[in-house]
Amino acid sequence: MSFSDEYVVAGAPAAWGQRRRHPLAGREGDGGSQWLADPGRVAILDRGGRTAVLCYASLLVLLSSGISLERGVTLALIATLLWSVAVEATVRATGMRSVAAGATATTTLGIATGTIAFWVLSLSIPLGPRAILAAPLGVCACLAAIGWTKLVGRAARTRPTVLIVRAGRRTGVAELTRALALEAPDACDLMGVVDCDPDAPRLEGLPVHGGLDDLADVIRRTQPNVVVLAVDRKRLEVFRGLLDAAHLRMTVLGLAEFYEQMFGRVPIRNLTPAWFMSLLHPYRRRYAPFGNRVFDLVVALTGIVVTAPLLPLIAVLVRLTPGPAIYRQTRLGLRGAPFTIYKFRTMAVDAEASGAPAWALAADPRVTTVGRVLRRTRLDELPQFWNVLKGDMSIVGPRPERPEHLEALTESVPYWTTRLLVKPGITGWAQLRYGYADDSASSERKLAYDLWYVRHRSLWIDFVLCIKTLGHLVTGIGAR
């Protein structure tokens, strides 16, 4: 039995909540209303209210189109049923991948799927709706569902209560508590730790509820939503304690899975070989190469068609400085195979006159004025659509690295070569979440996000990351 998979004991918490306090603060105890402090009640309110607002919004649109009240009510109920089923199915299908999309994108995809189903159904049933109504219905439903979810999220007082089980000295618990305090101080309530190794160093600010023999009793007493296993020894004994409390409503996660759920990345320094073996698990949902290739071709061809008028203009602007418009460089592709990447040149031609490869810097003095604009808008990446068509790259994936940096990165960053298990991409989860990397330390941080993508990659994730990339192009956030 491995800690690299997600273990669910008697169900999962119904909601992780939105409005939350410091992770070391413990349970709510300010005397306020406790009704919205229960995850189950919040889930009921979210689903029930969403269904009501979907039905009301669709009924308004239908009645405003001149449909009779009786027929409008019937169609509104049908549409609401399709939307509700589609949203729930999307939430369940995305699972831990939802951290990449967020509630808004997940809800939007569900509503869009339900709207398509309603449009198809309207063509085959004798209820008389005009097919064109599907579009305004879908827009109104999407806005209503997202608005209701955000309203409930702001009003809810719930957040997951987390109990950590630690067995061993190098378990990464101290790093986890620091990450929560710095990056997600309102993400959950850390209730404390069950320390199965009395000789392990104490954790400052985190109460210890007992040892291994007390595990089942502590779970019964504290009733956490989530139990995080930071265990590198005494695994069988820990599982026996968990089984004694298996009738309680909780989710059990390994440390790496908790990082994935909370931060959208993995703890590089605390990964085990078992985590990588999970990539080969027979029950793991796989991303079919054919589907990935079709997605790449469709997006690349669409991108070329849409940006075709810009290409000559960009080329002319780049040529205002001496040198070619297109820059070619060798990069590492799938399984480390070298390939030639194409970009619009953004640096002076003598950027590496010394002959030694150098990291590109965030405010690199070698970048030209036009190149700085191209980098900020990522227009310098447009020629890489050709790399995608050739099959050297994907639309979504880790950024391809230079072979000159391979040795240094392999020595300084654990598991760095695992990112070569998938094709490099024009955009990716690490680029969106972390942005720029100019040394080994920042490359390690980006790898933490790249490995999250390697494990959870799917057509849905690629689609969402492309949409998010468009948003980054508009705002300039994450530009190199």
pLDDT in tens, 349-385: 766 655 556 556 556 677 888 888 888 888 899 999 9
- Higher-confidence position of 188 and 397: 397
Would you say residue 294 has pLDDT above 90?
A: yes
Provide CB contacts within 8 A for 214, sequence distance 6+.
Answer: 194
Band of pLDDT at residue 296, cut at 50, 70 and 90? very high
CA distance 444 to 268: 8
Band of pLDDT at residue 127, cut at 50, 70 and 90? low
Arithmetic mean of pLDDT, 88-116:
74
Q: Are 469 and 430 in contact (CB under 8 A)?
A: no
What pLDDT, on the 0 to 100 scale, is given for residue 358? 59
CA distance 405 to 391: 23
What pLDDT, on the 0 to 100 scale, is given for residue 261? 84
Q: What share of the chain is helix, strand, coil (3-state, %, to 5)?
A: 55, 10, 35
Q: Which helix (H) or strand (E) holds 328?
A: strand 326-332
Q: Which helix (H) or strand (E) holds 342?
A: strand 338-344
What pLDDT, on the 0 to 100 scale, is given for residue 387? 96
- Higher-confidence position of 355 and 394: 394
CA distance 226 to 238: 15
- Higher-confidence position of 125 and 259: 259
Band of pLDDT at residue 427, cut at 50, 70 and 90? very high
Compute φ and ψ for 114, nearest 5 degrees: -65, -35
Q: Are 268 and 253 in contact (CB under 8 A)?
A: no
Q: Give first-to-last CA distance, the chain, whole Å.
A: 42
Would you say residue 444 has pLDDT above 70?
A: yes
Percent share of the chain, pLDDT over 90: 16
Token code pair at residue 256: 């790496």
Arithmetic mean of pLDDT, 37-55:
77
Would you say residue 333 has pLDDT above 60?
A: yes
The dihedral over CA atoms of 217, 223, 228, 229, expressed in degrees to the nearest 10, equals: 20
CA distance 188 to 282: 32
CA distance 228 to 186: 17
Among 30-44, 162-176, 309-323, 333-347, the least confident range: 30-44
Token code pair at residue 5: 């998979």
Q: What average pLDDT is seen over the chain?
A: 78
Would you say residue 415 has pLDDT above 50?
A: yes
Q: pTM to 2 decimals?
A: 0.77
Candidates 288, 251, 280; CA nearest to 96 is 251
What pLDDT, on the 0 to 100 scale, is given for residue 99? 64
What pLDDT, on the 0 to 100 scale, is given for residue 91? 75
Would you say residue 475 has pLDDT above 80?
A: no
Would you say residue 330 has pLDDT above 70?
A: yes
**Amino acid (one-letter) located at 470:** L
Band of pLDDT at residue 22, cut at 50, 70 and 90? very low
What pLDDT, on the 0 to 100 scale, is given for residue 394? 96
What pLDDT, on the 0 to 100 scale, is given for residue 1? 32
Arithmetic mean of pLDDT, 91-108:
69
With the C-alpha atoms ordered 26, 32, 38, 44, is the resulting torsion angle positive or negative?
negative
What pLDDT, on the 0 to 100 scale, is given for residue 342? 95
What pLDDT, on the 0 to 100 scale, is given for residue 300? 95
Q: Which helix (H) or strand (E) holds 300?
A: helix 289-307
Q: Find the DSSP H helices in 22-156.
A: 39-64, 69-94, 98-122, 134-155
Arithmetic mean of pLDDT, 95-103:
64
Length of the chain counted residue by residue? 480
Provide CB contacts within 8 A for 384, sequence distance 6+.
Answer: 341, 342, 343, 393, 426
CA distance 370 to 345: 9
What pLDDT, on the 0 to 100 scale, is given for residue 388? 96
- Higher-confidence position of 328 and 361: 328
